[in-house]
Amino acid sequence: MKLVVIGGVAAGMSAASKLKRVNKEAQVVVYEKGRFLSYGACGLPYYVSGENDDYTKMIARTKEQFEQMGIEVFLQHEVVKVVPDKKQVLVKDHKAHKLFIDTYDKLMIATGSVPIVPPLPGVKLGNIHVLKTLEDGIRLKELTETAEIRDVVIVGGGYIGIEMAEAMVLQGKRVRVIERAERILQTFDQEITQIAEEELHKQGVQLHLGEKVERFIGREKVEAVQTDLGTYPADLVVLSVGVKPATQFLEGSGIQLAANGAVVIDREMRTNVKDVYAAGDCALVYNKVKEENDYIPLGTNANKCGRIAGANMAGKHMKYIGTLGSAAIKVFDLELARTGMSETEAKNLAMDYTTVFIKSTDHPAYYPDQTPIWIKLICERRTRRILGAQAIGNKGVVLRIDIFAVAIHNKMSADELGMTDLCYAPPFAGVWDAVHIACNAVK
Ligand code: FAD
């Protein structure tokens, strides 16, 4: 049995490792286009910021470690075509500049996503970068640490854009974020993003909301960014306007792709083509709250779905229980976290919902260093089932949202969670925790 995995990061290496654990006899071959594999891209902003000075710490396992497990890894090898009828892949060896054909019994597509680069005038100028791969992070950090970089413009106020804004402030740069929408971090609702925006202002980040980048100006390197409202100096631009599935090489293969290019899979990670599996940022994922496939490119899903694909390729029948889109971000002194449906999503799906937004604290006032926590809940009106939760505060936010994730996963109502026996001791929480208070405020 020969199992070929395309892509060697979260989904790909989770699949390869699980495969080899379940079926020790199987031949497992991984083709990875880049120079690195199995690294945590989520750590890149903290490498660029200087909080971590050793990029090797982001590498979970090396090629040699995988080879010791019996997995054959080929770096700088790109799969350029898949021919399911013949069970063949066409591989380009970028080191030897050679093309060759390999065969498979089962195939795993784990090619992830690529950053969207808007086709604006000047976008090819020097010092305009994306942050996706370890190579990107190494290059960005080298650049950031040179004295010539003073003014940094971040285009896009999503997770990566905001993490990079903080990283650049920590590196002593003047930072501007230009976002086309009226607010940042749009998987959160406005009550939460407003508090995050105030924090960014407080920390010296200039936020330009509702403003559209039109061109990049410069001779060889970028010198300024022009928008519909102004022109701003820029020695470095970080483009973070979203990602798209890296599936162009599958066009014409017969493997079904969704409108955005993501591979369509079932909950066992099977594509429409026999013996071909896919998972991670290149594929759709089952959304437990919406009860349908969705595109949520997060490491959380890539690792779990990759592992499931690996087990199933080795003959098991594991089914993904579904994502809630749980995600968190640190914005300077604040933690933000979300799970389930946002109000925007509930509105778009024409749900009959109700919301609450409360301000509470992480623990009682009589224990030192009390900090505020804001929680927003979205509940189904009739059943009072919790559909979504979001929170922001200085401490204890992410773990509280994890409580909501479990509640949403188990279809709990606000009334039930409002009386659930959570831990209480003054250094950690009130006897009525912020979670209880939010649930019991649902009308
Ligand atoms: P990828 O990590 O994109 O890996 C795919 C691999 O496939 C790549 O190495 C690519 O070179 C290779 N490849 C592509 N095409 C081919 C081909 N044709 N042939 C061979 N190889 C190919 N997620 C979270 O949940 N939490 C976070 O805090 C978080 N922070 C992030 C911060 C940053 C800066 C970034 C960039 C991402 C972050 N993510 C986060 C997202 C997370 O990193 C991704 O969801 C995850 O890496 C997806 O894993 P994947 O294996 O599907 O794809």
CATH of the domain at 380: 3.50.50.60
- Measure Cα distances from 346 to 129, 341, 380, 442 in Å: 35, 6, 9, 16
Are 151 and 181 contained in the same domain?
yes
Ligand 1, atom 6, residue with closest C-alpha:
7
Q: State the Cα–Cα distance between residues 245 and 151, nearest whole angstrom.
A: 31
Confidence of residue 85 (pLDDT cuts 50, 70, 90): very high
| Ligand 1 binding pocket mutation candidate from 4, 5, 6, 9 (most atoms within 8 A of CB) | 9
Instruction: Give the ligand 1 atom nearest the CA of 91.
Output: 19
For residues 119-132, average pLDDT = 98
Amino acid letter, residue 224 = A
Residue 48 lies in a domain: no
Residue type at 363 in one-letter notation: H
Pair of tokens at residue 84: 């399911």
**pLDDT of the residue at 180:** 97
Q: Which of 30, 31, 42, 73 to mutate to test the pocket of ligand 1 (most atoms within 8 A of CB)?
A: 42
Tell me the per-residue pLDDT of 424-437, one tens digit each, with 9 for 90 and over: 999 999 999 999 99
Grade residue 122 by pLDDT with cuts at 50, 70 and 90: very high
Residue 294 and residue 217 share a domain = no
In a domain, residue 264? The reply is yes
**What are the catalytic residues?**
42
Per the structure, the count of domains in the chain is: 3
Whether residue 229 sits in one domain with residue 250 = no
Residues 133 and 80 in one domain: no
CA distance 101 to 36: 23
Residues 107 and 249 in one domain: yes
Q: Which of 244, 220, 60 is CA-nearest to residue 125?
A: 220
Ligand 1 atom at minimum distance from 36 CA: 9
- Domain span at residue 304 reads 2-34+76-114+244-313
Tell me which residue of 277, 287, 317 sits closest to 15, measured CA to CA. 277
Atom of ligand 1 nearest to the CA of 281: 52
Across the range 28-41, mean pLDDT stands at 95
The model's confidence at residue 140, banded by pLDDT at 50, 70 and 90, is very high
Verify that 235 and 302 share a domain, yes or no: no
Query: Is any atom of ligand 1 closer than 6 Å to the C-beta of 166?
Result: no
Q: Is residue 169 part of a domain?
A: yes
Span from the CA of 43 to the centroid of ligand 1 (angstroms): 12
Query: What confidence tens digit (pLDDT) does each residue in 312-326 have?
Result: 999 999 999 999 999
Average pLDDT over residues 267-291: 97
* Protein residue whose Cα sits closest to atom 46 of ligand 1: 299
ipTM greater than 0.95: yes
Q: Are residues 98 and 131 in the same domain?
A: no
* Closest-CA residue to 19 (of 53, 70, 62): 70
pTM: 0.96
Whose CA is closest to 299, among 36, 65, 28, 39? 39
> Does residue 184's CB lie within 6 angstroms of at least one atom of ligand 1?
no
Return the H-helix or E-strand segment holding 386: strand 386-393
Domain finish residue from 212, 241, 270 = 241
Torsion sign over Cα 254, 257, 262, 266: negative
Q: 324 lies in a domain?
A: no
CA dihedral 360, 361, 366, 369 (to 10 degrees): -150
Q: Where are the beta strands (DSSP E) in 210-298?
A: 213-218, 222-227, 231-233, 236-239, 243-245, 276-278, 285-287, 292-294
281 within a domain of the structure (yes/no): yes
Examine residue 44 and state whether it is found in any structural domain, yes or no. no
Integer Cα distance of 355 and 338 in angstroms: 14
| 140 Cβ neighbours under 8 A, 6+ residues apart | 48, 129, 131, 238
Find residue 155's DSSP bridge partners: 178, 239
pLDDT of residue 336: 98
113 CA to centre of ligand 1 in angstroms: 6
pLDDT at position 100 is 98
Mean pLDDT, the chain, whole residue set: 97
Rg (C-alpha) for the chain, rounded Å, is 23
Whether 21 maps to a domain, the answer reads yes
Ligand 1 near 29 CB (within 6 A): no
Pocket test for ligand 1, best of 298, 300, 308, 326 (most atoms within 8 A of CB): 298
Residue-wise pLDDT for 207-219, tens only, equals 999 999 999 999 9
Which tokens is 246 given? 């890296």
Mind listing the pLDDT tens digit for each residue in 230-245? 999 999 999 999 999 9
422: confidence class by pLDDT, cuts 50, 70, 90: very high
Query: Are 106 and 156 contained in the same domain?
Result: no
CA–CA distance, 47 with 144 (Å, rounded to integer): 11
Q: What mean pLDDT comes out for the span 62-80?
A: 96
Residues 236 and 258 in one domain: no
Q: Tell me how far apart the alpha carbons of residues 331 and 10 are, in angstroms, rounded to a whole number.
A: 25
Spacing, Cα 295 to ligand 1 middle (Å): 14
Q: What local confidence, expressed as pLDDT, does residue 121 receive?
A: 98
Helices 299-313 and 10-22 pack at an angle, to 10 degrees, of: 30
Same domain membership, residue 408 and residue 381 = yes
Average pLDDT over every residue of 409-415: 98
Q: How confident is the model at residue 139 (pLDDT cuts 50, 70, 90)?
A: very high
Query: 112 and 9 in contact (C-beta within 8 Å)?
Result: yes
Q: Is 10 in the pocket of ligand 1 (CB under 6 A)?
A: yes
What separation in Å is there between the alpha carbon of 247 and the centre of ligand 1? 13
158 lines ligand 1 (CB under 6 A): no
252 with 345, same domain?
Answer: no
Domain endpoint, select from 214, 241, 268: 241
pLDDT the model gives residue 2? 97
Residue 57 lies in a domain: no
Q: Which protein residue has the closest C-alpha to ligand 1 atom 27?
A: 42
Give the percent of the chain with pLDDT over 70: 100
303 and 218 co-located in one domain: no
Is the Cβ atom of 74 under 6 angstroms away from ligand 1? no
Residue 85 token pair: 């009828």
